[in-house]
């Protein structure tokens, strides 16, 4: 596995200018340490310890169960995007969590999609175009789902008005993604560049096929929204077990905002510091005291990040990725496909 990570970082440096991972790592350390310090400054640590000591193990167990149900829903939404290739929800659940779990251990967030793509193509026989298209589209669905939930929640959830500017930014970004998806679907219809870049051509063809299945896309979006709502319910269960006055819609918005921020900005592995900062900041909109919001953020951080990491530690070594001969040869062919072919004059 260390060789796989090293290989991924080498390819990433090659395509992003060489020093990008180190710059991002530096920014991540600064963001995590700086935001973590600001968030913990002035806390009443005895009150924090009291809140943590009063946790109900049954409440945490219930929240974990709800969280896992949400992850299964996300895997089902992903499965809906596979049109011509059969793959089970259980398998996608494992692939999804193995990628997320390894990502939690790295400061440069390139592992999740890279590992998921590798597993789909090398272990499950999924075509490159389908793997890339479904991985990209499920991310688009996540962004659309979170943006819609945020926009729908602002008018009806007390204290959520301060999130309006983030909803506007999300809507703009979502529309740009929609334009990109439409362009990829259109470009599959004989654009010369697609013939010169076979890997990109495979992606565009798969996107075009998905774009023609509006019902599947709509169903995947609905399931993605359900996934985020269930994650919000797991956050509400934790809040309920800690006697924090958050309603289910408020808890959902807190989880949405914290995950979006923590997975967007550079940080230390596992979004240490940045996740807590985002969650404490958003909970302030709903009148939750910092000395209660901080221990809540610690529990939610563990709930959302530990299960995928443990699943990756258990199942990823069993995938046989330690032997990299096949992966290296495939990566070389993908790299050659990504290079423009010279045309005869």
What's the pTM value of the predicted model, to 2 decimals? 0.76
pLDDT value for 320:
66
If we measure between CA atoms, which residue out of 237, 216, 44, 249 comes closest to residue 134? 216
Instruction: Give the per-residue pLDDT at 131.
Output: 84
Give pLDDT tens digits for 268-317: 777 788 888 888 988 988 888 888 899 999 999 999 999 999 998 898 88
Contacts of 50 (CB under 8 A, 6+ apart): none
Give the pLDDT of residue 138.
Answer: 84
Residue 263's pLDDT band (boundaries 50, 70, 90)?
confident
Q: Which residue has the higher pLDDT, 159 or 214?
A: 214
Has residue 112 been placed in a domain? Answer: yes
Is 4 a member of any domain?
no
Helix, strand, or coil (residue 158): coil
Tally helices (H) and strands (E) across the chain.
15, 0
Is residue 9 in some structural domain? no
Q: Which domain holds residue 239?
A: 45-337
In a domain, 7, yes or no: no
Domain count of the chain? 1
- Rounded to whole angstroms, the Cα distance separating 335 from 342 reads 15
- Distance between CA atoms of residues 222 and 245, nearest Å: 28
In a domain, 343, yes or no: no
């Amino acid at each position: 596995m260390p060789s796989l990570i090293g290989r991924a970082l080498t390819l990433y440096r090659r395509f992003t200018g060489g020093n990008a991972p180190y710059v991002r790592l530096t920014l991540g350390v600064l963001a995590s340490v700086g935001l973590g310090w600001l968030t913990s400054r002035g806390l009443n640590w005895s009150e924090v310890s009291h809140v943590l000591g009063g946790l109900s193990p049954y409440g945490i167990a219930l929240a974990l169960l709800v969280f896992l149900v949400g992850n299964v829903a996300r895997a089902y939404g992903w499965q809906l995007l596979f049109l011509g290739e059969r793959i089970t929800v259980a398998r996608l659940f494992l692939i999804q969590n193995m990628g997320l779990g390894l990502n939690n251990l790295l400061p440069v967030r390139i592992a999740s999609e890279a590992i998921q793509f590798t597993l789909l193509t090398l272990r499950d026989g999924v075509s490159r175009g389908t793997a890339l298209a479904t991985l990209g589209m499920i991310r688009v669905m996540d962004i659309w789902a979170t943006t819609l939930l945020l926009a729908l929640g602002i008018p009806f959830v007390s204290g959520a008005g301060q999130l309006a500017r983030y909803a506007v930014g999300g809507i703009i970004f979502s529309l740009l993604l929609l334009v990109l998806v439409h362009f990829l679907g259109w470009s599959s219809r004989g654009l010369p560049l697609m013939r010169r870049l076979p890997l990109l051509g495979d992606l565009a063809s798969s996107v075009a096929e998905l774009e023609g299945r509006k019902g599947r896309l709509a169903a995947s979006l609905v399931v993605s929204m359900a996934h985020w709502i269930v994650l919000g319910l797991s956050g509400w269960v934790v809040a309920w077990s800690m006697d924090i006055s958050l309603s289910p819609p408020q808890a959902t918005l807190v989880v949405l905002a914290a995950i979006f921020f923590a997975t967007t900005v550079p940080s230390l592995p596992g979004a240490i510091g940045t996740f807590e900062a985002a969650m404490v900041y958003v909970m302030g909109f709903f009148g939750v005291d910092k000395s209660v919001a901080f221990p809540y953020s610690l529990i939610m951080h563990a709930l959302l990040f530990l299960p995928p990491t443990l699943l990756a530690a258990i199942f990823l070594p069993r995938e046989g990725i330690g032997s990299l001969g096949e992966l290296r040869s495939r990566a070389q062919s993908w790299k050659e496909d990504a290079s423009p072919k010279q045309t005869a004059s």
